[in-house]
Amino acid sequence: MQTLKQQTFCGREFTGEEISLIQEIVGTCGGISRRELAHTVCELLEWKRPNNRLKARECSDFLELLESRGALVLPEKQQKRQNTSHKIVPEMPCGQPDSTLSGSVEEFTPLEVLRVQSRAQRDLFKKLMGRYHYLGYAMPYGARIQYLVYVNRPHREVVGCIQFSSPAWRMRARDEWIGWTDERRKVALQQVVNNSRFLVLVPIQNLASKILSCTLRELRSDWEQQYGLKPLLVETLVDRQKFHGGCYRSSNWIELGATTGRGRMDRANKLHGAQVKTILVYPLVKNAARQLREGNK
């Protein structure tokens, strides 16, 4: 079994003693699922969100990382039902659903924004993302809030899906724009939210910008209620080989630069420049960068 020293993951530093404890937990708690292991580790190490909920999703990712490094062996993954798969590959990556809607967004407002909470809503969100988004659907990293967006005339129809999740751990252009230190970033990072998926299903003019503005209004209170933190900044990454990001730019998002192309999990820096994306941010409050950099003074 590989012995690991201090590790940093999702903004938390794990000491060698804590990693040894995790190894002991995994080694002695035979017969329980990965999910139960993640909850057990969170409880013993008090790895929680500001609202006191366990960071079980992040812990599951950390356990899998430790396994990939030879530090432990996790139980086999339980068979999931077909409609709850971790990854749904797009069936029609460039397709559009059959819809007769067209025109200007003003003809269809107000939009109805529904937060995804029920099983039926989750299944619909996964189905639409899996079928029509070029990246498909994947379980988001860390925290998440998802929305379905409807119009109600001339009939009720879902016209968009949008997902917000945990931010990127490091992005040079963003971090330089904020101007925070590494220590301050560890404290305040979770007040940044990532718009990690966005799907517009019908060719209504200016619909994308309208969905952004409507869902961001909902996000402020929903994120704070769910995770106990007031979001200050939203970020997104636009694949510059496929998109210009016009809806973000027209909605006053700020372009900061480009990623290195590594992605979250490329810790060995093997994919440098492979998937370069444009970084855009949208402050949810005045002086968002200063508050992230300095806190509430």
- The reported pLDDT for the residue numbered 79 is 61
- The reported pLDDT for the residue numbered 113 is 97
Is the preceding peptide bond at 110 cis, omega within 30 degrees of 0?
Answer: yes
185: part of which helix (H) or strand (E)? helix 182-188
Q: Name the token pair of 234.
A: 């939203």
Topology of the domain comprising 82-294: Aminopeptidase (3.40.630)
The domain limits of the chain are: 7-68, 82-294
- The reported pLDDT for the residue numbered 99 is 79
Regions in the chain scoring below 50 on pLDDT: 81-85, 91-95, 264-273
Is the preceding peptide bond at 154 cis, omega within 30 degrees of 0?
Answer: yes
- Phi and psi, residue 125, nearest 5°: -60, -50
- The reported pLDDT for the residue numbered 265 is 43
Question: Left, alpha or beta for 275 (phi > 0: left; psi -120 to 50: alpha)?
Answer: beta
Helix 34-45 vs helix 16-28: crossing angle, to nearest 10: 140
- The reported pLDDT for the residue numbered 93 is 43
